[in-house]
A and B are shown apart, each in its own frame.
Chain A
Amino acid sequence: MAGSGRNALLEVTDLVQSFSQPRGILDRLAGRPVKTVHAVNGVSFDILRGEVFSLVGESGCGKSTTARTVVRLLEPKAGRIVFDGEDITAYSPSRMMPVRKKMQMIFQDPYASLNPRQRIKDIIMEPMLFHRTVSGKEEAESRMLSLLDIVGFRPEQADRYPHQFSGGQRQRIGIARALATNPSFIVADEPVSALDVSIQAQVLNLMMDLRDEFGLSYLFIAHDLSVVRHVTERLGIMYLGFIVEKGDRDSIFGRPLHPYTEALLAAAPTLDREKAAAPLQGDVPSPITLPPGCPFAGRCPRKMEVCDARRPSLLPVEGRMVACHLYGEE
């Protein structure tokens, strides 16, 4: 169940994020309303110290947006973010500065997450020098070299540029950069989705080794359930900006309750099954006009009348939280 209290490193409560699509002059003159993309609609979760928590879902579900909002790359529209005991929801850039040392991010695209014009040694030293977590250039260099060693590079490679490395190597450089200021919390936004299968395993193992060695917490964003199952302790399944099921790994994978979770597990191609199950029909609806009731009602194979009318809340069922009218009281 949700962790709370002294041991929670991160507490996110009712987080809301939306984007308004800018109207052209003609639309404004015609009086057309502003279109808003409701990306995150009241998401809550906690992450304990040293824990891996995942947000899983398909494109457009809001998981990446949630992650970016949690680290304040985007300003939340509503909700609360409490990190290491501090309410950072509305911190100004200067107040965020000391916090930034403690939370870092690993990005999805190894080809866009490193500045092509910076040598990798500078990429890794930049955060250290900026935050003065080292006493000077010398200490920065020695720390940089030790980080490179941890992620599996030789010292000679420090002078090279990103384009001289493969996708998997670049991802490891990104990990070294994230570790530069000795953070306690790392957001990993689809860290292995763009990598080849054999490299995925390497990077995942590295991330888990680092977690063990440095006591890190991860917010792990992914769409691949089998990857998530391997690394996470607890997870939340997202659909259209809502968390529809949340709990510990074994409960959810062993016995998924929410119809969408079931569908996701059934749809995921896997070596364990011989035949794919009957797939879920329909497409993910647009986050511009949210359905009034359950966000999944349009595609749910077990939909009831109430599902179109009323939005279900997250309620504790069988050891995890589910937002579904099939469970819980009416």
Chain B
Amino acid sequence: MSEYLLEVRNLQTRFELFRGTVKAVDGVDFTLREGEILGLVGESGGGKSVTGFSLLGLIDPPGRIAAGEVIFRGENLLEKSEEEMRRIRGKEISMIFQDPMTSLNPLQSIGRQIGEMLALHTPLSPADRRKRSIELLREVGIPNPEDRLENYPHQFSGGMRQRVVIAIALAANPKLIIADEPTTALDVTVQAQILALMENLVKRFGSALILITHDLAVVSEMTHRVAVMYCGRVVEEGPTRELVRHPFHPYTKGLLESIPRLSGERSRRLPQIPGMVPSLFDLPPGCSFAPRCGYATDLCRHEAPRMRAVAPGRTVSCHNPVQGGEEAEGHGR
């Protein structure tokens, strides 16, 4: 068997819209081992959410998965029928969405929603399901779980609701959890709680986690590896600590530098990446980042770079990776 739990190769997802075709995911590759936490980072339009949905086959027209392979435990998910995928969703691969209010059914008690997940994917009896639901609620840190089973989503605060969502996602003990911006809608102190909880549970249950977010800081605290996306492609991938300290791709470097820090020196002006993210309808030729890149050459403007290894465990998609991975300036650290 492969050493990887998940291998994504050349994933391409397109949306055929009136204004043109959007290549939301344009040849994405990455791997994931069991129990690993991978951060999928990028700004809006980068393709990270669409990647997450594509893994589970949750792309509806006008979108479609145009090419690629998603090898999960040795099998290509993209070749499976909808029925087979339904058996996988929830049981093997679970997803957590950003807004807990819309991902929970407001008209059903949370006990019922957890129970439904258990009923679908486990052979437990109703009595056992109830016991397990209470256990799960306790695991995610909800006080008095026996009483709260009957409560409805609106009776919980935002942070509590997200805990319920996590409980549901973990109910059938999936091997892989995909979390799409799970804490973006939450307050900072609550976010910290939820992230700590997720990290804890993922380790205990032995699941792998793909954390999709725009927040590099969150990713730097929680993930083992990071893949940075820009305009539908992965531009850099590697172990988190190293990538954050020594980015190779100019975009990653620019992004890290433009984030204000909580400590250390502060400069009058934040280094900023010039220009704007291009419209996905109108991508520049060659490297999508070239128009904004301080290191761009003519080659960059004509030929799109391919992913290649530049150091052990580090891959970059760039013709001129930042030399030796200069330390991202902490404003003159």
Contact = CB atoms under 8 A, between A and B. Distances in A.
Interface of A: 58-59, 166-169, 196-202, 204-205, 208, 223-227, 229-230, 253, 263-276, 278-281, 283-284
A224 B217 CA distance: 12
B272 A205 contact: yes
Interface in B262-276: 262-264, 266, 268-273, 276
Given A166-B276, A199-B276, A253 B192 contact: no
A59 to B, nearest CB: 5
A275 to B, nearest CB: 7
A204 B270 contact: yes
B42 to A, nearest CB: 9
A109 to B, nearest CB: 14
Contact of B216 (A197, A230, A266, A281): A197
A283 B191 contact: no
A276 B220 CA distance: 10
Contact of B189 (A205, A270, A273, A279): A279
Nearest to A230: B260
Contact of B262 (A199, A200, A270, A275): A270
B270 A274 contact: no
Contacts of B216: 197, 271
A172 to B, nearest CB: 11
B217 A269 contact: yes
B188 A271 contact: no
Given A168-B276, A200-B258, A270-B217, A58 B188 contact: yes
A274 B215 contact: no
Given A226-B259, A230-B260, A279-B196, A201 B273 contact: yes
Contact of A272 (B191, B262, B271, B276): B262
Given A169-B276, A201-B258, A269-B218, A274 B188 contact: no
B158 to A, nearest CB: 8
Interface string B165-208: 00000000000000000000001111111011000000000000
Contacts, number: 132
Contacts of A265: 262
Interface of B: 43-44, 157, 159-160, 187-193, 195-196, 214-218, 220-222, 241, 244, 254-256, 258-264, 266, 268-273, 276-277, 330
A153 to B, nearest CB: 12
Contacts of A264: 188-189
A271 B266 contact: no
5 contacts: A201-B273, A204-B270, A269-B192, A270-B261, A281-B193
B188 A268 contact: yes
B44 A196 contact: yes
Contact of A283 (B43, B157, B259, B266): B157
A58 B160 CA distance: 16
Q: Which of A267, A271, A274, A283 has the most CB of B within 10 A?
A: A271
Given A204-B260, A271-B217, 16 more contacts: A58-B189, A196-B43, A201-B259, A201-B270, A225-B188, A229-B261, A264-B189, A269-B218, A270-B217, A270-B262, A271-B220, A271-B259, A271-B261, A272-B261, A275-B221, A279-B196
B260 A198 contact: no
Contacts of A169: 276
Nearest to B276: A166
B330 A272 contact: yes
Nearest to A209: B269
B191 A267 contact: yes
A230 B263 CA distance: 10
Given A226-B261, A229-B266, A283-B159, A271 B192 contact: no
A198 B190 contact: no
A227 B256 CA distance: 14
Contacts of A196: 43-44, 214, 277
Contacts of A276: 192, 195-196, 221-222
B196 A274 contact: no
A202 B157 CA distance: 34
A270 B261 CA distance: 7
A227 B269 CA distance: 12
Contacts of B276: 166, 168-169, 199
Contacts of B262: 225-226, 229, 253, 265, 268, 270, 272
Contact of A227 (B221, B260, B330): B260
A198 B255 contact: yes
Nearest 3 interchain pairs by C-beta = A279-B192, A201-B258, A269-B217
Contacts of B188: 58, 223-225, 264, 267-268
Contacts of A198: 43, 254-255, 258, 272-273, 277
A314 to B, nearest CB: 22
Nearest to B273: A198
A315 to B, nearest CB: 25
B199 to A, nearest CB: 9
A279 B222 CA distance: 14
A226 B273 contact: no
A253 B244 CA distance: 23
B263 A197 contact: no
B260 to A, nearest CB: 4
B117 to A, nearest CB: 25
A253 B330 CA distance: 17
A272 B264 contact: yes
A204 B157 CA distance: 32
A226 B220 CA distance: 15
Nearest to B197: A279
